[in-house]
């Protein structure tokens, strides 16, 4: 029986968290949901031993990554950038390719700027992109909605945090399944 070829596979996947930084948080729509779902992704990816990357857009101006996320990331270093797209974030895309990553799960802010430009650039560079819709946001819901539609129409898969984690699990009944089940409750 064939399975859908674009289902996420652990050995080919990485998580990319984009610019969830202190100074922009107060104006972001439903930011607490974004933070909570990003933490679920981080914790799930750690359980599954899948690589995690995160960026900071001009931290001098926008401040550091929000403390709860930074703490969950432990000793992973941020990738600094001045471009809106993560394609300008040091050698991130090259590193993903060198590690044979072809599927990138994306979360972060803002949906219609840094997230969208990154997603489109990842697609252009032959990555399969999965956007966690409940872990991205913008200041205005309208911008968020338009961004999700644009990313979807250009080839991004749009789904949810829980869907992503269970897709990566693939089977139930394991210790990993039990740990991730606790995360999503």
Rounded (10°) CA dihedral 63, 146, 163, 96 = -60
pLDDT band for position 59 (cuts 50, 70, 90): confident
In a domain? residue 1 = no
Residue 44 contacts residue 168 (beta carbons within 8 Å): yes
Which residue out of 19, 86, 121, 134 is catalytically annotated? 19
pLDDT, tens digit, 9 for 90 and up, residues 69-80:
999 999 899 899
Taking 90 as the threshold, does the pLDDT of residue 120 lie above it?
yes
Q: Which domain holds residue 62?
A: 10-184
In a domain? residue 128 = yes
For residue 86, what pLDDT is reported? 87
In a domain? residue 5 = no
In a domain? residue 178 = yes
Which residue out of 40, 86, 107, 114 is catalytically annotated? 114
For residue 185, what pLDDT is reported? 84
Average confidence score pLDDT of the chain: 94
In a domain? residue 2 = no
In a domain? residue 82 = yes
Decide if 107 is catalytic: no
Residue 157 contacts residue 133 (beta carbons within 8 Å): no
In a domain? residue 4 = no
Taking 90 as the threshold, does the pLDDT of residue 152 lie above it?
yes
Average confidence (pLDDT) over 138-154:
97
Distance CA 28, CA 173 (A): 38
pLDDT band for position 97 (cuts 50, 70, 90): very high
pLDDT, tens digit, 9 for 90 and up, residues 162-179:
999 999 998 888 899 999
Q: Can you give the pTM of this predicted structure?
A: 0.95
Taking 80 as the threshold, does the pLDDT of residue 90 lie above it?
no
The domain total for the chain is 1
Residue 126 contacts residue 96 (beta carbons within 8 Å): no
For residue 45, what pLDDT is reported? 97
Decide if 114 is catalytic: yes
DSSP track, the chain: ----TTS--GGGEEEEEE--BGGGGGGSTTHHHHHHHHHHHHHHHHHTT--EEEEEESHHHH-SBPHHHHHHHTTPPPEEESSSSGGGSTTHHHHHHHTT--EEEEEEE-IIIIIHHHHHHHHHTT-EEEEEEEEEE-SSHHHHHHHHHHHHHTT-EEE-HHHHHHHHH-SSSSHHHHHHHHHH-
In a domain? residue 24 = yes
For residue 87, what is the domain's CATH number? Answer: 3.40.50.850
Which residue out of 81, 107, 121, 134 is catalytically annotated? 81
Residue 106 contacts residue 119 (beta carbons within 8 Å): yes
Decide if 81 is catalytic: yes
């Amino acid at each position: 029986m064939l399975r859908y070829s674009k289902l996420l596979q652990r050995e080919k996947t990485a998580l990319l968290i984009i610019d969830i930084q202190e100074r922009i948080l107060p104006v972001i729509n439903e930011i607490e949901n974004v933070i909570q779902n990003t933490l679920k992704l981080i914790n799930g990816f750690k359980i599954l031993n899948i690589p995690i990357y995160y960026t900071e857009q001009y931290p001098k101006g926008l401040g550091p990554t929000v403390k709860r996320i930074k703490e969950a990331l432990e000793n992973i270093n941020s990738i600094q950038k001045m471009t809106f797209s993560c394609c300008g974030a040091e050698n991130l895309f090259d590193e993903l390719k060198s590690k044979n990553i072809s599927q990138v799960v994306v979360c972060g802010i803002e949906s219609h700027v840094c997230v969208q430009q990154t997603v489109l650039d990842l697609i252009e560079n032959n990555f399969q992109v999965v956007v966690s819709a409940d872990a991205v946001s913008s200041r205005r819901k309208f911008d968020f909605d338009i961004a999700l539609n644009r990313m979807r129409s250009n080839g991004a898969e749009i789904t949810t945090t829980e869907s992503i984690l269970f897709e990566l699990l693939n089977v139930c009944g394991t210790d990993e399944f039990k740990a991730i089940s606790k995360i999503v409750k």
